[in-house]
Structure 1
Amino acid sequence: MFSKTADPTAAPPRPSMGGGSNTRSILAADLKITGDIRSTGSVEVLGEVDGTLTAQSVLIGSDGRMIGDISAEEVEIKGHHEGRVASQGFTLRASAEVKADIGYSKLVIESGAQIEGRFYRNKV
């Protein structure tokens, strides 16, 4: 019959900042970032980044642009990237335009992708 209701003046609960690898950050198409970005989860670049990007996984969308270094377990590029990449799994989609030196353990390049640079396989 009786129940306790939440205090309407209390602050809402805050989301956990645990930093697990299940977090996902999306950098929107209208966003331009200059500087370093670090995440323990995945980062999706739809806008422009000029700097370094370190994350569990990185996706550069079709209209995304990145100038700088990427370090991630998995990297997928559909847009434009100039710089260096250190990854375990590296995927270039057909729409990709890349000028980079790329370290990888697993490599996928779709027909139509444009690449200028060097590839080197990570030592096991």
Structure 2
Amino acid sequence: MFKQKTAPDVAPRSQGRTMAASTFSVFGSDIRITGDVVASADLHIDGHVHGDVTCTSLVQGEGSDIQGAIKAETARLSGTVRGTISARDLVILKTARIHGDVHYDSLTIEQGAQVDGRFAPRAATSAEDATVVSLAAS
């Protein structure tokens, strides 16, 4: 009388992909981290980090403070950074206070942002590094 339905043969959505590709981590304003942060996930940091930050995408809150280098594909900074920044797409918002050199492929700076450091496209810094290495090898 009743016919049992069979479940369709559908692969789970995460099959073939790493779970880290779809994750997002938040460090709240009450978080203080001493040490390097390395993540394959996107990060939103509202707290304080005393160490280097490496991730795919970084969003920094206004009250956040990062003391260390930042390496990310994309970064949107609105807090204080004391260290070198290297990002493919970088947005520095008006509340940001940057103390360090900035390396980028694409750069947007809002009026009012403060940067105490040098700006250089990442391609130019890579070429300079290659020249220094080749001169040292000679």
Same fold (TM over 0.5): yes
**8 Å CA contact retained: 1:21, 1:56:** no
Structure with greater proportional helix content: 2
Aligned to 1:82: 82
Higher-Rg structure is 2
Runs of 4+ in structure 1 deviating by more than 3 angstroms, as ranges, are none
Q: Given residue 97 of structure 1, which amino acid in structure 2 is its aligned partner?
A: R
Superposed CA deviations along residues 30-67 of structure 1, whole A, max 9, x for unmatched, are 01000011111211110100001110011110111100
Percent identity for Structure 1 against Structure 2: 29
What is the RMSD of the two structures over their aligned residues, measured on CA atoms?
Answer: 2.1
Aligned to 1:58: 58
Q: Given residue 122 of structure 2, which amino acid in structure 1 is its aligned partner?
A: N
Structure 2, unmatched stretches of 5+, are 1-17, 125-138
Structure 1, unmatched stretches of 5+, are 1-17
Residue 72 of structure 1: SS of its match in structure 2?
strand
Residue 89 of structure 1: SS of its match in structure 2?
strand
Q: Given residue 67 of structure 2, which amino acid in structure 1 is its aligned partner?
A: I
Query: 1:27 Cα deviation (Å)?
Result: 0.5
TM-score, normalising length from structure 1? 0.83
Residue 20 of structure 1: SS of its match in structure 2?
helix
Structure 1 position 72 matched with structure 2 position 106: no
Query: 1:19 Cα deviation (Å)?
Result: 4.3
**What aligned pairs does 1:109-120 form with structure 2 within 5 A after superposition?**
109-120=109-120
Q: Given residue 59 of structure 1, which amino acid in structure 2 is its aligned partner?
A: V
TM-score, normalising length from structure 2? 0.75
Q: Which has the higher contact order (CA 8 A, sep 6+)?
A: 1
**What aligned pairs does 1:1-124 form with structure 2 within 5 A after superposition?**
18-123=18-123
Residue 21 of structure 1: SS of its match in structure 2?
helix
Structure with greater proportional strand content: 1
Q: Given residue 107 of structure 1, which amino acid in structure 2 is its aligned partner?
A: L
Aligned to 1:4: none
